[in-house]
Amino acid sequence: MNALPYDGLLLGVHLATLDDTRPGGHVIEDGALGWRDGVLAYVGPRSALPAAPAKLAREVIEARGWATPGLIDCHTHLVFAGHRAHEFDLRLNGASYADIARAGGGILSSVRAVRAASEEALLAQSLPRARALLADGVTTLEIKSGYGLDFDNERKLLRVARQIGEQLGVTVRTTYLAAHALPPEYQGDADGYIDAVIAWLPRLHAEGLVDAVDAFCEGIGFTPAQTRRVFEAARALGLPVKLHADQLSDLGGAALAAEFGGLSADHLEYTREAGVRAMAAAGTVAVLLPGAFHVLRETQLPPIALLRAHGVPMAVATDCNPGTSPLLSLRQAMQLACTHFRLTPEDALRGATVHAARALGLSDRGLLRVGLRADFVLWNITHPAELCYWLGGTLAERVFIAGHPTS
């Protein structure tokens, strides 16, 4: 039995704790992190340690650079089969997102690929994407279904998401997104498909496969009335909701998510002030997805000034998906959020940590604070702004999940 106070102790780094409750601010120069049983037990200056490091921990790590909370990717569609590089080409030749979707591309293209793939093949294709995110500092991620659009294939997607978490030792929050697109077998009967989506949900939830429920509320997706029905089914099961809201038009999606106490409303390019006010009142997080904005070459910016004015926390995520955001770096998403949306580097870092945790309903991570999970990243940088400054490259020296280094 270990009689020492800490399992591990990280010394010599500067800490960007992001903990605004700390006297003197959230930055600690020449800091130290100590952890035990996967939880942070010391966060403070090295000089305030009560004894020589060797007497405090089984493992003492001397390092340089900066440590931050582990990054949290709170919106991904990471489990899919194949790719849609040809759609990238089509868009650059003038086709719109809606044009491609109406021609049977877009989401339905990925649906065909997923339905043709075995669970083992899906896992084999998806694991490298998850590993890429982890290598760049992610310690928690959300994965949505939505490329199956029938019971067996939605279940397959959610099962693979769970397996990714088990194999990589990372927290994976699963989101049921069967209301993502209308499958071919339900063409002309969107309400009938929503009936099926609602019927599948209790069965998948009973198998432990669903942490939250999402929908695509949009002209090429589902109406507010249909989305409301899905959310009512989620509420009956005690499941939180999230929403792809107001990406291509303002159908009141942000306000609808807020009405149901949604964890987040995501995209938000067309959200007006009424929706922002509703989110602020409900405590709903705005999830910004600059990867899709960038790839689709959008010009309609999310209402950043309104979100700031009303105090709505802004998370940042990759939206990793095969069609509109083939992005395998949350740090790159942070950079894009700064470039396109004019977030500051600190805004973006908070968006990928503390606010992203809130967007997943997780209160045990996102900050470097005693009592929270020992999820943190040691970065080879001289200032935290470098996380959003460099385009590409490898900055994460070591990534720790619950106090354990990732491979």
Q: Is 323 annotated as a binding residue?
A: yes
Helix ranges, 52-172 (H): 85-92, 97-102, 107-116, 119-135, 151-168
Kindly report the pTM of this predicted structure.
Answer: 0.96
14 belongs to an annotated ligand binding site: no
- Is 36 annotated as a binding-site member? no
Going by their DSSP bridges, the two strands 376-379 and 66-69 should be labelled as antiparallel
Give one DSSP letter per residue of 218-233, joined into a string.
STTSB-HHHHHHHHHH
**For residue 45, what are its two tokens?**
């200056």
Annotated binding-site residue? 252: no
Tokens 């700390």 correspond to: 22
Rounded alpha-carbon distances, angstroms, from residue 138 to 115, 328, 341, 375: 29, 10, 22, 9
310 is in an annotated binding site: no
State the pairing for strand pair 376-379/396-401.
antiparallel
Task: Encode the chain (407 residues) as per-residue pLDDT tens digits.
Answer: 457 899 999 999 999 999 999 887 899 999 999 999 999 999 999 999 988 888 899 999 999 999 999 999 999 999 999 998 888 888 888 888 778 877 778 888 999 999 999 999 999 999 999 999 999 999 999 999 999 999 999 999 999 999 999 999 999 999 999 999 999 999 999 999 999 999 999 999 999 999 999 999 999 999 999 999 999 999 999 999 999 999 999 999 999 999 999 999 999 999 999 999 999 999 999 999 999 999 999 999 999 999 999 999 999 999 999 999 999 999 999 999 999 999 999 999 999 999 999 999 999 999 999 999 999 999 999 999 999 999 989 999 999 999 999 97
Domains in the chain, CATH or no CATH each:
6-70+367-405 (2.30.40.10), 71-359 (3.20.20.140)
Contact 289, 325 (CB under 8 A): yes
Instruction: Determine whether the annotation assigns residue 244 to a binding site.
Output: yes
Eight-class DSSP state of 19: -
64 is in an annotated binding site: no
Where do we find the tokens 């002030």?
273
Known binding residue 398? Answer is: no
Could you report how far apart the first and last alpha carbons of the chain are, in Å? 26
77 is in an annotated binding site: yes
Q: Is 83 annotated as a binding residue?
A: no
* Ligand-binding site membership of 147 (annotated): yes
